[in-house]
A and B are shown apart, each in its own frame.
Chain A
């Protein structure tokens, strides 16, 4: 019996989630990056980080750093006075980029590039997007309604209340 030939197992990050992560990142940067040059620079670096983390290095940490840079881009554009609606969209895009980028690396590591992963990945991506859209929609709705004359601190306390209660779920 001669050398046995088997398939090669490749654990590179999944292109589907990786591509979607990159698209989300582009949307995030697009909605916020125009506010200032600094924001754009951070945004571009963030996109680069995500692309490298997913397609080149298969490293979760690099993806996290990349999405954090995009987050900074959103923050800076917020400081510069960007529209709340666009900031909302950017935030959703940033978190999507983080989650889908990490999922790409995770799926690649646990499955392999030969595996059929389309269904699972799409469902995950859709779920995360829907959550973001719902929360964003509700928050914007409240903001819209509350904009007329309600003091900003109330909003802040509302948000902090939500956070504290959520933390109490699991310590």
Chain B
């Protein structure tokens, strides 16, 4: 016999005995009650003490209710350089990983400094390293000491590092800031809105967590599964029961009951006992719980547009019906809008009561993004008193498919690498075409319209004019879709992969209409490949790839349940890439792997054009460093003859391409 059974039996026994005494006393039979004042007063005191005890237990226990997500908000992807800010945060606020993080940051700064020196002084890597050590690369003392100290500071500094408080880390951060500013100055880079006072560690955490600070009027962002008490919203079945728990809302009422009754007895005021009995009634109400039958909830969704394009606004109307036999007294519904969507009007939530057979609706407007979306409705159901809460996810069958339109809005200049098919790209091969190429000796069989008649008129000799042949190019649009590429400049702005895919759907058609063969690929652990081709079936396949392939999804791999094995992301692409295909590489250039890939492809004979959305920012130390590194990568790529379009997402891509064309001509 365990404790709880024993307790329950004691309670029941006590209750029955007390009831019996009361009945006998009212009926006037049986032994007289100990009606003495002291006995009664004792009962009163005991009751009040129990009341106080229950108050204490109430204070100690917590009310539990489900923490709900805010699916209205767009998701958060960190800007490049966030990892440096995290490392600094660990060092300064959390005070661990001091040496590790310090080494990492120093390494990165050293690499950036060497690149800048190489560029500026046009020397080799070794020479640049020497200059760095000697310190004659800059006039700035802090910067100079930073690099010449770093080799000597490691050895004897470990004990100091142990004792070092956050003061030392804060000092380190200041040094890092100064070094970065100096590097930027040497590299002729400017930072807009460089505001050192905003880049303190307090605001750091706020930025790291994806919200703006109080004076930042950027929007709030959140991943659905991040801040709620529910682990995941990726469910397969139409009805998933998550949890049923007690909310402990009525704990305080027992205190009221005991105190009121006890006090009433103590001071002999029957009115108080009466008041106490009301509280007792509420205690019964709270305990007479019934699990609400949410398995009978049916959900239907209607969309104002069944085939929207990315960026369109769609009105969603949700109808919830109770098909069960009993009433659902307290239903709190939240439509878990997919992470890439943003709610622009209305609220995807409802608080209602549904009797048996009743239905209720709510609607909201949402801005959609590409993909094949199904999402659940979170159902929090309570009984009448609210003391039991049941969480479940109901997923209706209606899904929303959003495929991008391949519009030919943005013209993209193509490099001089072609196939044998006729097209629009001017080659350096002579033949029939439009633009003059060369003049050669006449051979029997040359077409009459290419004979240089003026020459014949002058000299009597035949000569044939060759024009530049126009051939079709094979183009592969290659996307960098690793975790690193899912970076956005600030919370609420689209990340680099979204920007790239939107740009590519614009560019695809114009390249295609010019007669080129266009294909799509992505480098990531999930293979994504569509060989360059032509035809309407090909176009349809491309649209589907953009809409539904997991590698090109709007959700980064860490948030999606994709199993990928760790291999070099370019493996799949390298195997399939045709030897005469050009490559248009869409990448934010957030790390060296992307620029390395571009170099290798270019060297292997695939002429590369890079379209790089600029998602760097300059608000914090890490972001500025990332900005510098990106500029350096762009410069290095251009030096090697690779075309690179540095695209600020605020501007239109067409403008940037036009600007770039003047450079390339």
- Name A's B-contacting residues (CB within 8 A): 1-9, 60, 64, 67-68, 71, 74-75, 78-79, 81-84, 86-88, 90-92, 94-95, 98-99, 102-103, 106-107, 109-112, 114-117, 119-121, 123-124, 127-128, 131-132, 134-136, 138-140, 143, 146-147, 150-171
- Looking at the assembled complex, report how far the CB atom of B566 sits from the nearest CB atom of chain A, in whole angstroms: 32
Query: Given B264, B343, B353, which contacts A119 in the complex, CB threshold below 8 Å?
Result: B353
Whole-angstrom CA separation of A107 from B334 in the bound complex: 12
Whole-angstrom CA separation of A12 from B259 in the bound complex: 33
Whole-angstrom CA separation of A151 from B33 in the bound complex: 9
Q: Using A7-B343, A120-B332, A165-B16 as known contacts, list a sample of 9 further A-B pairs with CB atoms less than 8 Å apart, ordered by residue number in A.
A: A9-B73, A99-B249, A115-B349, A123-B329, A150-B25, A153-B25, A154-B33, A156-B265, A164-B12
Tell me the nearest residue of chain A to B6, going by C-beta.
A171
Q: Does B22 sit at the interface, judged by CB under 8 A?
A: yes
Whole-angstrom CA separation of A60 from B249 in the bound complex: 10
Q: Is the CB of A159 within 8 A of B494?
A: no
The answer to whether A152 and B268 touch (CB under 8 A), given A6-B72, A127-B329, is: yes
Q: Does B619 sit at the interface, judged by CB under 8 A?
A: no
Point out the residues of chain A lying under 8 angstroms from B344, CB to CB: 5-7
Query: Given B26, B220, B252, B385, which contacts A9 in the complex, CB threshold below 8 Å?
Result: B220
Q: Is the CB of A168 within 8 A of B274?
A: no
Q: Is the CB of A4 within 8 A of B343?
A: no
Q: Is the CB of B349 within 8 A of A111?
A: yes
Q: Does B47 sit at the interface, judged by CB under 8 A?
A: yes
Q: Does B257 sit at the interface, judged by CB under 8 A?
A: yes
Q: Does B304 sit at the interface, judged by CB under 8 A?
A: no
Point out the residues of chain B lying under 8 angstroms from A127, CB to CB: 329, 384-385
Q: Is the CB of A90 within 8 A of B275?
A: yes
Whole-angstrom CA separation of A102 from B387 in the bound complex: 12
A-B pairs with beta carbons under 8 Å apart, 12 shown: A6-B343, A74-B260, A95-B282, A116-B351, A120-B331, A136-B278, A152-B265, A154-B33, A161-B19, A162-B277, A163-B258, A165-B16
Q: Is the CB of A156 within 8 A of B282?
A: no
Tell me the nearest residue of chain B to A9, going by C-beta.
B70
Q: Is the CB of A157 within 8 A of B277?
A: no
Closest 7 CB pairs of A and B: A135-B281, A84-B271, A164-B15, A120-B351, A161-B19, A161-B18, A157-B22
Q: Does B539 sit at the interface, judged by CB under 8 A?
A: no
The answer to whether A166 and B287 touch (CB under 8 A), given A1-B494, A119-B351, A120-B351, is: yes
The answer to whether A168 and B12 touch (CB under 8 A), given A3-B492, A4-B342, A7-B344, is: yes
Query: Given A91, A110, A132, A136, which contacts B66 in the complex, CB threshold below 8 Å?
Result: A110
Q: Is the CB of A102 within 8 A of B249?
A: yes
Point out the residues of chain B lying under 8 angstroms from A116, CB to CB: 347, 350-352, 362
The answer to whether A124 and B329 touch (CB under 8 A), given A64-B252, A91-B260, is: yes
Q: Does B269 sit at the interface, judged by CB under 8 A?
A: yes
Number of A-B residue pairs with CB-CB distance less than 8 Å in the complex they form: 282
The answer to whether A1 and B352 touch (CB under 8 A), given A68-B252, A84-B274, A164-B14, is: no
Q: Is the CB of A143 within 8 A of B270?
A: yes
Say what secondary structure dominates the interface of chain A.
helix
- Looking at the assembled complex, report how far the CB atom of A147 sits from the nearest CB atom of chain B, in whole angstroms: 8
Whole-angstrom CA separation of A3 from B195 in the bound complex: 22
Q: Does B279 sit at the interface, judged by CB under 8 A?
A: yes
The answer to whether A165 and B11 touch (CB under 8 A), given A81-B269, A116-B362, A117-B351, is: yes
The answer to whether A98 and B252 touch (CB under 8 A), given A9-B72, A153-B40, A159-B276, is: yes
* Cβ < 8 Å to A, chain B residues 358-395: 360, 362, 367, 380, 384-386
Whole-angstrom CA separation of A171 from B4 in the bound complex: 7
Whole-angstrom CA separation of A90 from B499 in the bound complex: 62
Tell me the nearest residue of chain A to B34, going by C-beta.
A153
- Name B's A-contacting residues (CB within 8 A): 4, 7-8, 11-12, 14-19, 21-22, 25-26, 33, 35, 40, 43, 47, 63, 65-66, 68, 70, 72-74, 219-220, 249-250, 252-253, 256-261, 263-265, 267-285, 287-288, 311, 329-332, 334, 342-347, 349-353, 360, 362, 367, 380, 384-386, 492-494, 498-499, 502, 649-650
Whole-angstrom CA separation of A110 from B348 in the bound complex: 12
Whole-angstrom CA separation of A150 from B24 in the bound complex: 11
Point out the residues of chain A lying under 8 angstroms from B7, CB to CB: 171
The answer to whether A87 and B14 touch (CB under 8 A), given A95-B256, A111-B332, A159-B280, is: no
Point out the residues of chain B lying under 8 angstroms from A135, CB to CB: 277-278, 280-282, 285
Tell me the nearest residue of chain B to A120, going by C-beta.
B351
Q: Is the CB of B269 within 8 A of A157?
A: no
Q: Is the CB of B278 within 8 A of A92?
A: yes
Tell me the nearest residue of chain B to A117, going by C-beta.
B351
Q: Is the CB of B22 within 8 A of A120?
A: no
Q: Is the CB of A167 within 8 A of B272?
A: no
Q: Is the CB of A139 within 8 A of B253?
A: no
Q: Is the CB of A164 within 8 A of B493?
A: no
Tell me the nearest residue of chain A to B25, going by C-beta.
A154
Tell me the nearest residue of chain A to B327, going by C-beta.
A123
Point out the residues of chain A lying under 8 angstroms from B281, CB to CB: 131-132, 134-136, 138-139
Q: Is the CB of A1 within 8 A of B72?
A: no
Q: Is the CB of B272 within 8 A of A78?
A: yes
Whole-angstrom CA separation of A92 from B68 in the bound complex: 31
Point out the residues of chain A lying under 8 angstroms from B219, CB to CB: 3-6, 8
Q: Is the CB of B280 within 8 A of A163?
A: yes
Tell me the nearest residue of chain A to B345, going by C-beta.
A7
Q: Is the CB of B287 within 8 A of A169?
A: yes
Q: Is the CB of A78 within 8 A of B271?
A: yes
Point out the residues of chain B lying under 8 angstroms from A107, CB to CB: 332, 351
Tell me the nearest residue of chain B to A106, going by C-beta.
B65
Q: Is the CB of B253 within 8 A of A95?
A: yes
Q: Is the CB of B274 within 8 A of A87?
A: yes
Point out the residues of chain B lying under 8 angstroms from A117, CB to CB: 350-351
Whole-angstrom CA separation of A94 from B25 in the bound complex: 32
Point out the residues of chain B lying under 8 angstroms from A153, CB to CB: 25, 33, 35, 40, 43
Whole-angstrom CA separation of A81 from B270 in the bound complex: 9
Whole-angstrom CA separation of A154 from B276 in the bound complex: 15
Point out the residues of chain A lying under 8 angstroms from B342, CB to CB: 4-6
Query: Given A4, A83, A134, A168, which contacts B271 in the complex, CB threshold below 8 Å?
Result: A83
